[in-house]
Structure 1
Amino acid sequence: MNATFQAMRGYTEHAVSIKNGRRAEYEIIARVTQGLRDTAIKAKSDFPSYAHALHDNQRLWTALVVDIVDKENPLPEDLKARIIYLAEFTRHHTKKILREKASVLPLLEINMAILRGLKTEGPSK
């Protein structure tokens, strides 16, 4: 491989990885949701993987809250409040799931609703 080809290849790989805000959010939430769903199916036989996926989902919601409380975030205040509420619900519900006192279904439904909203609402960021 010559240096020019390597440079072009490196540039192309990075250019492809750059995405607009909404698409990147969608892909991250979709990946976390898929991991949660996949591990929930085998939670009885592989609880550590399931717990890790629940943790990833919790980290996702924490990151969403950190993002929306930023003064520069343009989302309407009522939407920010709803996201904070969902993050709190997710935190409490995750604790119940880890104690085997609740189903993962509400978390999956919330994430899917967020994905639908990202897919259909307005122009991309």
Structure 2
Amino acid sequence: MNALNMARTAYSNTTAPIRTPRGTEYEVFARISHQLKQTSQNKKTDFPAFVRALNHNRRLWTLLASDVADKDNALPKELRAQIFYLAEFTIQHTSKVLTGNANEEPLLDINRSIMRGLQGEGSAT
């Protein structure tokens, strides 16, 4: 690549928007929720894809639980406790979904609630 082309690309618009941490968190929840919703519609014919989506959701919530359990986390203590409780519920409910003793809708509801909060529509801001 010559210097002129390098200069053009260095100052051109990027295709990826700059995101805030909240925006990044929202995007992760949206992507995983979409994957879970899509695979749940075909779980009878492609159960492995559904299991992968459930696993991605569980990993997200495990990461969140770990983050809010950290004493250096800046969120208010009450909010941290609520997020930790939701993570515990999500992890336990996922096990029930995998054994066929529950459905995935509560997991999607929780994710949607968190997404609303991240957008400033809920009280979890």
* TM-score for both structures, normalised by structure 1: 0.85
Deviations 1:10-39 (A, max 9, x none): 67549x454211000000111000000000
Match of 1:77 in 2: 77
- Which residue identity lines up with residue 33 of structure 2 in the other structure? T
| Structure 2 counterparts to residues 1-125 of structure 1, below 5 A | 1-6=1-6, 9=9, 13=14, 16=16, 18-120=18-120
Output the CA distance in 2 between the equivalents of 1:106 and 1:48. Answer: 20
Q: CA deviation at 1:6?
A: 3.7
Output the CA distance in 1 between the equivalents of 2:71 and 2:2. Answer: 47
3-state DSSP class of the match of 1:120? coil
- Which residue identity lines up with residue 89 of structure 1 in the other structure? F
Q: CA deviation at 1:72?
A: 2.9
Output the CA distance in 2 between the equivalents of 1:74 and 1:30. Answer: 24
Gaps of 5+ in 2: none
Output the CA distance in 1 between the equivalents of 2:7 and 2:25. Answer: 29
Equivalenced residue count is 121
- Which residue identity lines up with residue 22 of structure 2 in the other structure? R
- Kept after mapping to 1: 8 A contact 2:69/2:84: no
RMSD: 2.2
Distance 1:2 1:50, change over 3 A: same
Q: Percent identity?
A: 47
Gaps of 5+ in 1: none
Q: CA deviation at 1:94?
A: 0.5
* TM-score for both structures, normalised by structure 2: 0.85
- Kept after mapping to 1: 8 A contact 2:39/2:50: yes
- Kept after mapping to 1: 8 A contact 2:68/2:81: no
Structure with a larger share of its residues in helix: 1
Output the CA distance in 2 between the equivalents of 1:67 and 1:8. Answer: 41
Deviations 1:20-66 (A, max 9, x none): 11000000111000000000010000000000000000011011112
Distance 1:101 1:3, change over 3 A: farther
